[in-house]
Chains A and B, each alone.
Chain A
Amino acid sequence: MEILAQAEYSQLAGTIVSGLSLGTIYALLAMGFVIIFKATQVVNFAHGALATLGAFITAGVAVELNFPGRFLDLPPLLGWSISVVTALVLSALMGILLERVFLRPMVGEDLFSVAIVTLGMNVILMTIVTDYIGPDPRSMADPWGDASVDLGFVIIAHTEIAQFLVAAALVVLVGVFFRSRTGIAMRATAFDQEAARAQGVNVGAIFAIAWAIGAVLATVGGIFGSVYPRRIGVFPDTAFLVFRAFPAIILGGLDSVKGAVVGGLSVGLAEAAAGSYLNHPLFGTGFSGIVPYLVMMIVLFIRPYGIFGTAEVRRV
């Protein structure tokens, strides 16, 4: 074991930490995407816009509105958490509104037409949010800043610890949700909308809940994608995080929540590993950014429905 020098250990550990932190963001984004897809049969190309807009709303609530700091003098972490929860509620409402206005008229249309509607939504939302963000990134005003803990062999940022805890909590929450009455109703809706309706499930409400959950998860992903180790604030290219999360979704299979988590983590690890080990000049610049797509294409070639996805039964 002496063959591996100390430096190589810490490079490996650093790669794993940054891979997991990237991976949890992908997993959050992918989970929201998959929940929306399963419950409402909508392939949401506007998920990146949801993440960016959510993070922007958070910045707006925490910095511009200075809520709740302008009314109460709270400790930074509690105050910021309240701002974030407020922003999450606003994002959820936004998600519900988008579904109601643009996607409810498309219920029953084929997947592709609906996907195109979300592409249009993405263009509109991204244009508006880009205009409002302006040339400078908006700070998240998170209480951790660039603080980090040094464990000797690896340095972990406080934001990353927070992110692991929040992500783990959200994964558990989603798991619990799917076992609740509403969660079971959502699974029934995902299985067959008409049959669920016949059993007394309020399908419209389920759609709204799915979009609210999707928007909340996207916002959390967007927030953690715009803080210290990665960015100094929300920027329009936060949306690209979601384009990198698509491979995670495909890897796990479009309709598997478990797959989204596994896919997100593995894509994050692969990207971080490529970033720290594949630095031969032949790979050029930005190779780690396309590793997720390469992984996705290889997986699709071997298993055209992803690893955990259900193979479509083809009938005439």
Chain B
Amino acid sequence: MRSRPHLHTSYSADQALMPTATKKVALATFLILAALAPIASSIPFYPDFLGNNDWMKLLSHVAIFGIGALGINLLTGVAGQVSLGHAFFMGLGAYVGVVFGAPSGDLWGWGLPMWIWLPMAGIIPAAIGLLVGPAAVRVRGLYLAFATLGLVFIGEWAWRNLKFITGGSFAGRRFPEFQLRMWKEEEPLVDFASDGVWLGFEISEEAKVYLLMLGLLVVATVLAKNLQRTRAGRAFQAIRDRDIAAEIMGVNEFKYKLMAFGISSAYAGVAGALFASFVGRQIPETWDLFLSVEFIAIILIGGAGTVSGALMGSAFVILLPRLVQDFTEWLSNVIADGEGLLASVADAVISVSPDDFGVVNILPGAGPGLSVFQLNQVLFGLLVILFMIFEPLGLYGIWLRIRNYWKGWPFTY
């Protein structure tokens, strides 16, 4: 039984979240390792750099975008409703969070604790999602993508003009910090916004935030994974695969499309509020079309319709710029070190001075090439295209192929 992952002898076994022991062990190991990342330097054989503060920040970023990606995955990947409006709902969540959570001052803020503002950042976008949902349900396919694209632009106008909430164009405002309080008392119960000592370990602010995000991501993932095997989850997939057939079989299309909109907006709102507070200060221009495109790209690169794909995709999209940056820095060090074939190849790729010709610039304004940031943008676009052409199932599809190769090894024909 253990060696036959697809042999199910009961319905509950077929529906199990963790069908095999291997999966259980692998996941538990991964979670323990992820939770231990902040104290990486005191564990043997564990890559030290993961415990650095900037890597803690990157991994928190991955977790937050992972939560957002689970939302868009539910709507676009599972229920098949293509939405470019994710950025709108993220912005909405962020501003709901800040109105509830930020201390009152020149801008609106009620100074309520995190256990209120974070759920509200999910509930209110969900309500708005249900409100605009009926209009969206009428609109099908690509027309829906265009309608939700309109939502992003209307949202941007609203954020720029609601100055008493958002702080106005290119000014922005500070978002509430991650602090757990019972009510409005001075000392927070758990303070994620300053360094401290937990369980005898020195722990930095970044590491605390990372652990918080990891926890929230685990909760969000379990909820999303569970949803897919409920009645509603099966209805979503039926609508995605053949909407008329689903209706004929008794799936209430209107109800379930609306539900998908609501839940996806709730995920987006929470992710938006977390992201805004994580960065600290956000301008209204953050919630633009590119953010929506980024989320669509995350689920496509990861593998649309799969929970693990959404998470792999966000890790890939967030970590790629960092890897590219490290790589270009390494290449420029190679040039600086001196001669040899490698150095001349690197020199052709990178321009280090204004009259040097290369594809990538290290210094701002040096040569005609792209900056590292722009190189990342180009790679991002290229990856989206390549994944769509060569592996529509994304990273999940690649993983499937690797797994299937080893399943039959050494008889892989």
Query: Please, which residues of chain B bring their CB within 8 A of the CB of A117?
Result: 384-385, 388-389
Query: Please, which residues of chain A bring their CB within 8 A of the CB of B154?
Result: 290, 293-294, 297
* CB of B242 within 8 Å of the partner chain: yes
A120 to B388, CA, bound (A): 10
A127 contacts which of B145, B368, B377 (Cβ < 8 Å)?
B377
Pick from B136-144, B182-190, B338-346, B401-409 the stretch touching chain A.
B136-144
A304 to B381, CA, bound (A): 30
A115 to B82, CA, bound (A): 11
Query: Please, which residues of chain B bring their CB within 8 A of the CB of A247?
Result: 146, 150
B142 contacts which of A43, A286, A294, A314 (Cβ < 8 Å)?
A43
* CB of B324 within 8 Å of the partner chain: no
Q: How far does the Cβ of A133 sit from chain B's closest Cβ, in whole Å?
A: 12
* CB of B153 within 8 Å of the partner chain: yes
* A243 and B153 form a contact (CB under 8 A): yes
Closest chain A residue to B137 by CB distance?
Answer: A304
* A289 and B153 form a contact (CB under 8 A): yes
* CB of A58 within 8 Å of the partner chain: no
* A304 and B139 form a contact (CB under 8 A): yes
B 224-252 to A, binary, CB cutoff 8 A, 1 in contact else 0: 00000000000000000011110010000
Which B105-146 residues have a C-beta within 8 angstroms of A? Answer: 135, 138-143, 145-146
* CB of B157 within 8 Å of the partner chain: yes
In the complex where A123-B380, A127-B370 touch, is A102 in contact with B385 (Cβ < 8 A)?
yes
Q: How far does the Cβ of B157 sit from chain A's closest Cβ, in whole Å?
A: 5
A125 to B199, CA, bound (A): 51
A254 to B145, CA, bound (A): 12
Which A39-68 residues have a C-beta within 8 angstroms of B? Answer: 43
Query: Please, which residues of chain A bring their CB within 8 A of the CB of B138?
Result: 300-301, 304
* CB of A296 within 8 Å of the partner chain: yes
Q: How far does the Cβ of B229 sit from chain A's closest Cβ, in whole Å?
A: 25
B384 contacts which of A120, A250, A254, A290 (Cβ < 8 Å)?
A120
* CB of B306 within 8 Å of the partner chain: no
> Main SS of the interface on chain A?
helix
Query: Please, which residues of chain A bring their CB within 8 A of the CB of B248?
Result: 316
* CB of A6 within 8 Å of the partner chain: no
* A304 and B143 form a contact (CB under 8 A): yes
* CB of A285 within 8 Å of the partner chain: yes
Query: Please, which residues of chain A bring their CB within 8 A of the CB of B297?
Result: 116, 119-120
* CB of A9 within 8 Å of the partner chain: no
* A287 and B146 form a contact (CB under 8 A): no
A204 to B374, CA, bound (A): 33
Q: How far does the Cβ of A31 sit from chain B's closest Cβ, in whole Å?
A: 17
Query: Please, which residues of chain A bring their CB within 8 A of the CB of B243?
Result: 314
Query: Please, which residues of chain B bring their CB within 8 A of the CB of A312?
Result: 140-141
* A315 and B244 form a contact (CB under 8 A): yes
A286 to B300, CA, bound (A): 33
Query: Please, which residues of chain B bring their CB within 8 A of the CB of A246?
Result: 146, 149-150
* CB of A200 within 8 Å of the partner chain: no
Q: How many residues of A contact B (CB 8 A)?
A: 48
Q: How many residues of B contact A (CB 8 A)?
A: 46
* CB of A305 within 8 Å of the partner chain: yes
B143 contacts which of A106, A127, A287, A305 (Cβ < 8 Å)?
A305
* CB of B293 within 8 Å of the partner chain: yes
Which A261-306 residues have a C-beta within 8 angstroms of B? Answer: 284-287, 289-290, 293-294, 296-297, 300-301, 304-306
In the complex where A117-B385, A121-B381, A301-B135 touch, is A284 in contact with B150 (Cβ < 8 A)?
no
Query: Please, which residues of chain B bring their CB within 8 A of the CB of A123?
Result: 290, 293, 377-378, 380-381, 384
Query: Please, which residues of chain A bring their CB within 8 A of the CB of B171?
Result: none
B 178-216 to A, binary, CB cutoff 8 A, 1 in contact else 0: 000000000000000000000000000000000000000
Q: How far does the Cβ of A104 sit from chain B's closest Cβ, in whole Å?
A: 10
A141 to B206, CA, bound (A): 53
* B145 and A128 form a contact (CB under 8 A): no
* CB of B265 within 8 Å of the partner chain: no
A112 to B384, CA, bound (A): 13
Q: How far does the Cβ of B131 sit from chain A's closest Cβ, in whole Å?
A: 13
* B388 and A113 form a contact (CB under 8 A): yes
* B378 and A124 form a contact (CB under 8 A): yes
A109 to B387, CA, bound (A): 13
In the complex where A124-B378, A127-B378 touch, is A296 in contact with B242 (Cβ < 8 A)?
no
Q: How far does the Cβ of A300 sit from chain B's closest Cβ, in whole Å?
A: 5
In the complex where A116-B300, A124-B382 touch, is A106 in contact with B147 (Cβ < 8 A)?
no
A195 to B359, CA, bound (A): 45
Binding site for A on B (CB under 8 A): 82, 135, 138-143, 145-147, 149-151, 153-154, 157, 160-161, 242-245, 248, 289-290, 293, 296-297, 300, 368-371, 374, 377-378, 380-385, 388-389, 392
Nearest 7 interchain pairs by C-beta:
A284-B161, A123-B381, A293-B150, A120-B384, A124-B381, A120-B385, A127-B377
Binding site for B on A (CB under 8 A): 43, 102, 105-106, 109, 111-117, 119-124, 127-128, 130-132, 243, 246-247, 249-250, 254, 284-287, 289-290, 293-294, 296-297, 300-301, 304-306, 312, 314-316
- Further 5 A-B residue pairs, CB within 8 A, beyond A254-B142, A316-B244: A123-B381, A124-B377, A127-B374, A127-B377, A294-B154
